[in-house]
Amino acid sequence: MSTTDDPAVHVVRHETVVAAPPEAVFALMADVTRWPHVSGSTVYAEVTRDDGTEQTLRGWVLVDRAVRSWESRRTLDRTARTITFRRDVPPAPLAAMGGAWRVEAGPAGACRVVLRHDYSVVDDGPGTAERVAEAVRAAGATEIDALRATAEQAAAAAGGGHELTFTFSDGGRIRGSARDVYAFLDRADLWPERLPHVAVTRLTEEEGGVQVLDMDTRGPDGSLHSTRAVRVSFPERGLLVYKQLTVPPFMACHTGRWTVVQHGEEVTATAWHTVTLDPAGVRPALGEAATLADARALVRHALGTNSSTVLRYAKAHAEARGT
């Protein structure tokens, strides 16, 4: 047990060599919108305040199948390629948690990444300290390994003239109320009776606008496809974000968002998708002749068709309520 008023500060350090340019690796760490495509546990992250150097962040992660939110502050030094961070309210039994990322130049086309965590616990007894230390070590190893794998895969694909991660959108104008359009998107539990391609949904709602959505959809051939997603709802902002937890083998990650904006008597509703392809899964899933371009076209068509269908029925719903 600590004998001082202030709990002891513990430090955990991880480092790895990444076969990717340091500028690209730092950019990947600095852009919080890309974190869900780097970390499997990150559902959504956003910058809530930004003066160019000092930022405040908010995010949602999956921990032991539960969705938890967090807030933190960080300082970016793009010249030195360092990012220092500090959690505002760390979860118990942590009293404080912070650290830093540093990207160091290495051999041509490579770099070294160092991740340091410093933390203290409320109860600094041996049992608590050991459990927290193991958790911090495991989390740090997972984070730095995921960063390395994502950066190296992206660098290899870029070397072949491909981009593994891409974003696209489908949208349109609706004559009616943004509130009605948003409610249609938010109430996924009613989709089986509102959307022809949705067979079954199971929607679990938690505090803070968090939803877990299990859904069975019908394909063109009548087959059923099951998916699970975590959604975070921001009705006051006309924003509904999600991360799909079950994806086809040729996709590494799929995140999306619905945006609903009122313009006078009209609404602009847009479905955004960001997808990261998994090169190793393309040929086993789509055939030996399949390419990344084929997978990209398939994803664009399939997700775009589903989004356009949802928007078409949301439009009919909102415009009928407005008459």
Which burial class, exposed, middle or buried, applies to 208 when counting CB atoms under 10 A from its CB (0-12, 13-18, 19+)? exposed
For residues 293-313, give the mean pLDDT.
96
187-194: Cβ within 8 A, 24+ apart: 188/213, 188/215, 188/231, 191/215, 194/313, 194/317
Of the chain, the percentage scoring pLDDT greater than 70 comes to 98
Number of C-beta neighbours around residue 118 at 10 A: 16
Same topology between domain 10-159 and domain 165-322: yes
Condensed to tens digits (0 to 9), the pLDDT of residues 110-164 reads 999 999 999 999 876 778 888 999 999 999 999 999 999 999 999 999 988 889 9
pLDDT at 5: 65
Q: Cα–Cα distance between 200 and 193 in angstroms, integer?
A: 9
pLDDT of residue 323: 61
- pLDDT tens for 289-302 read 999 999 999 999 99
Residue type at position 210: V
The CATH number that domain 165-322 falls under is 3.30.530.20
pLDDT bin (cut points 50, 70, 90) of residue 219 is confident
Q: Which residues of 268-287 are buried (b: 16+ CB within 10 A; e: fewer)?
A: bbebbbbbbbbbebbeeebe
Architecture, CATH, for domain 10-159: 2-Layer Sandwich (3.30)
Q: Which band of pLDDT confidence, cut at 50, 70 and 90, is reported for residue 180?
A: very high
Which amino acid would we find at residue 320?
A
Residue 117 amino acid letter: H
Domain boundaries, the chain: 10-159, 165-322
Long-range contacts of 162-165 (CB under 8 A, 24+ apart): 162/292, 162/293, 164/252, 164/276, 164/277, 164/279, 164/292, 165/34, 165/37, 165/274, 165/275, 165/276, 165/277
Residue 164 sits at the vertex; the CA angle it makes with 18 and 60, to the nearest 5 degrees, is 80
The pLDDT of residue 127: 82
Closest CA to 55 of 38, 72, 43, 42: 72
Bridge partners of 211, per DSSP, are 205, 231
Beta-bridge partners for 45: 59
Tokens coding 42? 């990150």
Average pLDDT score, the chain: 94
